Amino acid sequence: MLDFIKYVSVAFTAISLAFTGWLQYEKFRLDGEWHIDTCTEETDFRSYEGLHLAWRVFLSDDPLSAPVVGDGEKVEEAFAAIAPAARYPVRLVGTKEISSVSLTGRFEGAKRASTGRFEFHPTLSRRLLSGYIPFYQRNVDVLEGSFAFTAGNARGPARAVRLSEGKMPDGVAPFACMGVTAEDLKAPAPAEDDAPAEDPAAEIPPAQPD
């Protein structure tokens, strides 16, 4: 009888773990529009170091089919928007586990195509229980990880953020590439003291002829 109870307990635990894993897998859906940022920290070419690139992609995550697939285009370089006519497409395909995503892509370019790979995992978001007790919850809308491209043997950190109606969701920190963000590169608004001084002579009316 004790052996039977032990076997039932083990079976129940295994089923519970499997069900919990399935729930976590189902909650980790990738469907939607994503913004992917990369920062080149290692490369064979010094001129590529510190280069920021970004893509806008649409991912499809059908639970009845194994691969995750997506299509998109490069939309930013060095935190500057790329004109629509100058954007190059990318196609992604990969797999998803309970806590990780692997995507392989073909990236078209001006002279040649290259391939690359992203490795992502969900982040943790800080929440407050009952308004004051902190705890951390898995955030499947912000993924962090790394990338590696054949172009220049470039590699470094990467981040993918699921967009809401085409916009970055509130509360997401700007992506930093070697300590630099898009906010750092924005031209500061001219201060009032920097405005060009008016010419006092312009206020003097011309002399009237006698």
Residue 14 lies in a domain: no
CA distance 90 to 70: 8
Q: What is the pLDDT of residues 62-114, one digit of tens each?
A: 766 668 999 999 999 999 999 999 999 999 999 998 889 999 999 998 888 99
Residue 90 lies in a domain: yes
Residue 98 lies in a domain: yes
- For residue 63, the SS3 value is coil
Nearest to 171 by CA among 142, 192, 137: 142
Residue 188 lies in a domain: no
Copy the structure tokens of residue 209.
């002829």
Residue 7 lies in a domain: no
Domain that holds residue 43: 30-181
First and final C-alpha spacing in the chain: 127
Query: How big is the chain by its Cα radius of gyration, in Å?
Result: 26
Nearest to 154 by CA among 184, 121, 109: 109
Residue 153 lies in a domain: yes
Read off the CATH number of the domain in which 62 is found: 2.40.128.120
Contact assessment for residue 129 and residue 107, using Cβ atoms and an 8 Å cutoff: no
Residue 20 lies in a domain: no
Distances (CA, A) of 54 to 21, 78, 129: 32, 9, 35
Nearest to 30 by CA among 125, 127, 163: 163
Rounded to 5 degrees, φ, ψ at 83 are: -60, 140
Mean pLDDT of 116-141: 79
Q: What is the pLDDT of residues 139-152, one digit of tens each?
A: 899 999 999 999 99
Q: What is the pLDDT of residues 18-51, one digit of tens each?
A: 434 444 445 588 999 999 999 999 999 999 999 9
Copy the structure tokens of residue 73.
């285009």
Length of the chain measured in residues? 210
DSSP character at residue 132 = T
Residue 23 lies in a domain: no
- What is the pLDDT, as a whole number, of residue 138? 83
Q: DSSP alpha helices (H): ranges in 97-206?
A: 182-185
- Tokens 């039932």 correspond to 8
Please state the domain count of the chain: 1
